[in-house]
Amino acid sequence: MKVPVTEIIINERVRREIGDLSSLMKSMDQHGQLNPITITRTNVLIAGHRRLLAALELKWTYIDAIVVDKTSEADLLEMELEENIHRKDFSPEELLNGYRRLEKLKKPPFTRRIAAFFQGIFSKLFRRRKKTESSAQKSVEQSENATVKAQDNSRKNAVPGEPGEYGV
């Protein structure tokens, strides 16, 4: 659910070192909020302190939150600890492989870029050709309709005994 950031209550936290929020803020600004914060029904923050602070710095009005029914101080502290203890950072190898994959996706090999370039050109030409054919078809239909209307009008205006409709 969306919660106004100014209505979230921050009580005493276990984490004292917030660290530099600039990379988190950049990520949230670029990609949005990937994970909700966790709060109680009375808007007391349980988990997501850095995300909340980044949202406040970014001047967000609302933040996504999960609301839990726990209310005892022991439960809240346990949840705060659990949220931060069980994280596992990427290994250096995993991180390197992930960035390599990202680099390939963002900057594909030269042959793929050439293929994509020509595909873009041909799709534009095809759309243009299709538009031209569609316009030509409409012109033919309009011309045919005008001819039929003209023939109808000449039939209506024809005088019996004169050359024209009756073939006299």
Along the 168 residues of the chain, how does pLDDT read in single tens digits? 999 999 999 998 888 888 999 999 999 999 999 999 999 999 999 999 999 999 999 999 999 999 999 778 898 899 989 888 887 778 899 889 988 888 888 887 777 767 777 788 878 777 766 666 666 566 666 666 666 565 666 666 555 555 555 454
Other Cβ atoms less than 10 A from the Cβ of 70: the count is 15
Q: How many CA atoms lie within 13 A of 25 on its CB side?
A: 13
Domain-embedded: residue 139 = no
Domain-embedded: residue 54 = yes
3-state secondary structure (DSSP) of residue 38: strand
Backbone angles phi, psi at 163, to 5 degrees: -60, 145
Domain-embedded: residue 115 = no
Query: pLDDT at position 116, please?
Result: 76
| Six token digits for residue 51 | 């995300």
The domain that holds 55 is classified in CATH as 3.90.1530.10
pTM of the model: 0.59
Structural domain of 42 = 2-87
Domain-embedded: residue 132 = no
Query: pLDDT at position 104, please?
Result: 84
Domain-embedded: residue 117 = no
Domain-embedded: residue 105 = no
Residue 63 contacts residue 3 (beta carbons within 8 Å): yes
| Six token digits for residue 41 | 């029904």
Domain-embedded: residue 9 = yes
Give the chain's domain count.
1
Residue 37 contacts residue 13 (beta carbons within 8 Å): no
Domain-embedded: residue 10 = yes
Q: How many CA atoms lie within 13 A of 164 on its CB side?
A: 13
